[in-house]
């Protein structure tokens, strides 16, 4: 008999197959491979092919848009939203509209075309996390923006149009619906129990251990109780914190390790899968509260969303999180950790 499970934050129900659970080898998937075809606008030497850089780490001297950087942030060449102008909210009869104002930036994670976030040394992953923070702090000053989402599409099947390792940032004039669902659910839980639902999850999952994937001093990596997708995994700070950008340098160091650990394990178990990764943090105008707890959601692309999901908002997940967590927990990462950090 399959399980119907309810996510304690959003109240969303999922169907988990328990009988014929799919194991890693049962998924037909597109392995992410670097093909090196054509000219890559994100490679050093091609800086003039991107819009002017907004931020870079590594280049001590020399002009903007030249090589020598470790991480580089540029505006998206084909932005989903435009940065200039005002929102101009208006009605169209009973309908609402506003101008498509927002920021859309690309974080080029490494100059090395053949690297991936998983293969970068922890120090370099930390650089990427610091650019996220720097860009969030800068964009927060713009009062038009209500939410800043950082996300990553890895592999063509997960929506990446360029194979060179990169993440994206979108600043939005509205709070997105999925985040609103989490915020509202977390607030309801807090009103009822006077505790953060995420902190409660961390406490219980640490106690039972069956859905825990990994742990370090500051972060817990786990398979959620009611995951939408097979091998969906979250990384949460152990101490309550609502905004990603409030993290200390100590935390970024341990977050880089946690991210590397999870991505390496996923590459091992699922053979370099395409994936999406998102950072869910509190809205920019409410960065410190007791009910919301920032986190990373990692979703490997192993199944397709079809009619039933689109029609109901229910997801059918063929792999119980307890099994996914066990595969990831037991995957060794030791021999992939670099001996030296450059």
Give the catalytic positions in this structure.
166
- Smaller CB separation from Zn ion, 102 or 237: 237
Instruction: Give, as ranges, the residues between 296 and 335 that touch Zn ion (CB under 5 A).
Output: none
Instruction: Give, as ranges, the residues between 99 and 118 that touch Zn ion (CB under 5 A).
Output: 113
Q: How far apart are CA 55 and CA 131, in angstroms?
A: 8
Q: How far is the CB of 57 from Zn ion (least distance, A)?
A: 18
Cβ neighbours, 10 Å, residue 291 = 23
Q: How far is the CB of 293 from Zn ion (least distance, A)?
A: 3
Q: How far apart are CA 197 and CA 7, in angstroms?
A: 11
- Smaller CB separation from Zn ion, 57 or 151: 151
- Smaller CB separation from Zn ion, 152 or 293: 293
- 3-state SS class at 295: strand
- Out of 69, 189, 198, 275, name the contact with Zn ion by CB under 5 A: 198
Query: Strand runs (DSSP E) across the chain, as ranges?
Result: 3-6, 13-16, 53-57, 71-75, 90-92, 95-97, 103-108, 147-154, 166-172, 212-215, 219-222, 233-237, 275-280, 295-300, 315-317
- Out of 42, 69, 294, 315, name the contact with Zn ion by CB under 5 A: 42
Q: How far apart are CA 306 and CA 181, in angstroms?
A: 22
- Out of 83, 174, 199, 210, name the contact with Zn ion by CB under 5 A: 199
Cβ within 8 Å of residue 76, ≥6 positions away: 51, 104, 105, 106, 168
Instruction: Give, as ranges, the residues between 256 and 285 that touch Zn ion (CB under 5 A).
Output: 280
The stretch near Zn ion (CB under 5 A) out of 35-43, 72-80, 96-104, 328-336 is 35-43
- Out of 196, 212, 251, 258, name the contact with Zn ion by CB under 5 A: 196
- Out of 164, 166, 257, 329, name the contact with Zn ion by CB under 5 A: 164
- Out of 49, 140, 144, 240, name the contact with Zn ion by CB under 5 A: 240
- Smaller CB separation from Zn ion, 173 or 224: 224
- 3-state SS class at 270: helix
- Smaller CB separation from Zn ion, 87 or 199: 199
Phi and psi at residue 196, to the nearest 5°: -80, 130
What is the DSSP code string of 161-198?
Answer: SS-S-EEEEEEESS--HHHHHHHHHHHHHHHHHSS-HH
- Smaller CB separation from Zn ion, 113 or 140: 113
Phi and psi at residue 103, to the nearest 5°: -115, 140
- Smaller CB separation from Zn ion, 266 or 296: 296
| Contact between 40 and Zn ion per CB under 5 A | yes
| Contact between 187 and Zn ion per CB under 5 A | no
CA distances from 321 to 104, 329, 331 (A): 33, 12, 15
| Contact between 210 and Zn ion per CB under 5 A | no
Cβ neighbours, 10 Å, residue 83 = 15
The stretch near Zn ion (CB under 5 A) out of 12-20, 116-124, 165-173, 197-205 is 197-205
The stretch near Zn ion (CB under 5 A) out of 77-85, 189-197, 281-289, 318-326 is 189-197
Q: How far apart are CA 269 and CA 325, in angstroms?
A: 11
**Could you tell me the two tokens for 60?**
């001590």
- Out of 43, 55, 115, 210, name the contact with Zn ion by CB under 5 A: 43
- Out of 22, 124, 293, 329, name the contact with Zn ion by CB under 5 A: 293
The stretch near Zn ion (CB under 5 A) out of 15-23, 36-44, 52-60, 329-337 is 36-44
Q: How far apart are CA 92 and CA 113, in angstroms?
A: 47
Q: How many residues bind Zn ion (CB under 5 A)?
A: 11
Residue with tokens 């001590």: 60
Residues that bind Zn ion (CB under 5 A): 40, 42-43, 113, 164, 196, 198-199, 240, 280, 293
């Amino acid at each position: 008999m399959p399980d119907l499970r309810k996510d304690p934050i959003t109240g969303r129900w999922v169907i988990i197959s328990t009988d014929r659970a799919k194991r890693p080898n049962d998924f037909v998937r597109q392995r992410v491979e670097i093909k090196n075809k054509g000219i890559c606008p994100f490679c050093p030497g091609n800086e003039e092919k991107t819009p002017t850089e907004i931020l870079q780490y590594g280049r001590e001297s020399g002009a903007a848009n030249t090589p020598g950087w470790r991480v580089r942030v540029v505006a998206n060449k084909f932005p989903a939203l435009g940065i200039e102008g005002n929102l101009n909210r208006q009605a169209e009869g009973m309908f609402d509209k506003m101008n498509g104002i927002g920021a859309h930036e690309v974080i080029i994670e490494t100059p090395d075309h053949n690297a991936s976030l998983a293969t970068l040394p922890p120090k370099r992953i930390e650089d990427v996390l610091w650019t996220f923070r720097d860009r969030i702090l800068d964009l927060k000053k713009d009062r038009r923006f209500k939410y800043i989402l950082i996300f990553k599409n890895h592999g063509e099947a997960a929506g990446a149009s360029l194979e060179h390792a990169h993440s994206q940032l979108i600043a939005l004039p509205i709070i997105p619906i999925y985040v609103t669902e989490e915020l509202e659910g977390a607030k309801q839980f807090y009103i009822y129990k006077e505790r953060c639902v995420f902190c409660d999850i961390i406490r219980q999952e640490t106690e039972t251990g069956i859905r825990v994937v990994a742990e370090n001093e500051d972060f817990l990596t786990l398979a959620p109780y009611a995951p939408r997708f097979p091998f969906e995994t979250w990384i949460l700070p152990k101490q309550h914190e609502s905004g990603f950008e409030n993290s200390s340098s100590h935390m970024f160091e341990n977050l880089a390790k946690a991210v590397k650990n999870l991505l390496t394990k996923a590459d091992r178990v699922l053979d370099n899968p395409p994936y999406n990764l998102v950072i869910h943090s509190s809205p920019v105008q409410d960065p410190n509260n007791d009910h919301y707890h920032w986190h990373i959601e990692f979703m490997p692309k192993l199944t397709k969303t079809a009619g039933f999901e689109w029609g109901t908002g229910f997801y059918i997940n063929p792999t119980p999180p307890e099994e996914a967590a066990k595969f990831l927990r037991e995957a060794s990462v030791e021999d992939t950790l670099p001996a030296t950090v450059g």
